[in-house]
Structure 1
Amino acid sequence: MSNAKIGLLAGSAVALIAMAGSGGFFAGHLYAKVQFLEGQQAAQAAPGPTNQIPYGAAPSMDLAEQVPLIQAPAPIQSSLNENDVPRAIAPVLADAESASGILDVLSKASSIVAEGEAEHEQPIYAFFDPTCPYCKNAMAELNGKAKIHWIPVAAVSDMQTVSNLIEGMKTLPGKDAVASVVAGEVPQATATTETQGQLQDNFSILRAIYQGSEDRLAVPTFLVPREDGTVTLTRGYDKADPAKNMPGDSGELLGAYGS
């Protein structure tokens, strides 16, 4: 098994703060933010160099030469590639053999399975949070069009809120469960510890997929199997807007799926 496959199976907990982004909800790494702020405070508190010359003393060199040279920081390379895919996982998904290992892991994740018109050997896998408006847009436009395994995670709202909603979704058939999220009519239920554990496991898988790009983690995240065995990853979702002549993401997603 490759290191990439091992990494996918070895996700761990991470402190996250959710914030809205175009087309999806994105998670930033809270620990890194705290470290950065602490570093700034330490730098402000530390005594800095001085260029003052004692009264009556002649400078030994030009003052400009005493000022430390400040070099511009090197440009930060994005953790996503030109296709908006996390760099670490991109070559794994682009190789049919290694991509099959990813699909095998996803097939074992707890999910809400909704059947659709387009159904191939592998379904589409979609990580979602039922409180995420972008996820709801995707569900509204994709439900019934393709077989999708909707893999729930608590990425936007707290664990209790999300797990209660997922518990309610489990009482309905797949397509009806998805429709209930879109309509805001999920049956009320109190989550079991089993459901909460499933959400934690699912998030570990999602975080492993974004390894090295955790600050760009997003819901919804779609993994679409292609006929050649490779997998396409899509972050976020924009719905169609005929008034603005915007087709939305459904066509591209279903097109990658071959439907």
Structure 2
Amino acid sequence: MTDTLAKLEGIDDIPAGTPAGQVATIFFDPRCPYCHAAFTALHGKVAARWVPVVVLGNPEVGNRMAAAILSAPDRAAALASSFDGKLAASAAANPEITAKLGENKEAFASIFAAAPQLRPGVPTLFVPRPDGRLAIMVGYEAGDDAKLRSVLTGS
């Protein structure tokens, strides 16, 4: 699973000095208010790879926003701007970015198809435990950043 997640197109938001095994992978939709809350709580505090997956209504708008983030020279800044409502959606994504977004969505769907006990949603966080296993957290509420840090450290 970890190898599959690492191959997806995403945005690295990883503070310097973070050990390789302590990076969460987070599927997000750029229009999701819960994803915004997670980004606000985690940005600069928890190492994460943010993987765009358009799953909310009006996929055309979502895909244009996700493409604008992935096409930006500074993806982390573009991600922050998108959640602040300051990033304009791109007019049209190039075919390579469109294909990458499709791969992200296929991986997201496959994960939930393989784990029917989980209800699909964004954000979905894959958090590595110290023993190498992954914890999966679907959704985000205030205070979940403390749970995520606890999983990362094994405390």
- Contact persistence 1:117–1:144 (CA under 8 A): no
TM-score, with length taken from structure 2: 0.86
Deviation string for 1:33-66 (max 9, x for gaps)?
A: xxxxxxxxxxxxxxxxxxxxxxxxxxxxxxxxxx
Structure 1: gaps spanning 5 or more residues: 1-101, 240-247
- Which residue type is aligned with residue 150 of structure 1? W
- Contact persistence 1:225–1:232 (CA under 8 A): yes
1:180 maps to 81
Structure 2: gaps spanning 5 or more residues: none
Task: Select the residue among 103, 107, 113 that pairs with 2:6.
Answer: 107
Task: Select the residue among 112, 116, 127 that pairs with 1:213.
Answer: 116
TM superposition shift of 1:173: 2.1
Distance 2:130 2:38 in 1: 23
> Structure 1 residue 235 and structure 2 residue 134: aligned?
no
- Contact persistence 2:61–2:89 (CA under 8 A): no
Number of residue pairs aligned between Structure 1 and Structure 2: 150
TM superposition shift of 1:201: 1.1
Task: Select the residue among 147, 151, 154 that pairs with 1:252.
Answer: 147
Equivalent residues in 2 for 1:1-259, closer than 5 Å:
102-116=1-15, 119-122=18-21, 123-170=23-70, 171-190=72-91, 191-211=93-113, 213=116, 216-239=119-142, 248-258=143-153
TM superposition shift of 1:149: 0.8
Structure with greater helix share of residues: 2
Structure 1 residues 152, 139: closer, same or farther in 2, change over 3 A? same
TM superposition shift of 1:174: 3.7
- Contact persistence 1:131–1:162 (CA under 8 A): yes
Distance 1:164 1:251 in 2: 32
- Rg larger for: 1
- Contact persistence 1:163–1:195 (CA under 8 A): no
TM superposition shift of 1:196: 2.1
Distance 1:164 1:178 in 2: 13
TM superposition shift of 1:118: 6.9
Sequence identity percentage: 28
1:11 maps to none
Structure 1 residues 172, 180: closer, same or farther in 2, change over 3 A? farther
- Contact persistence 2:31–2:83 (CA under 8 A): no
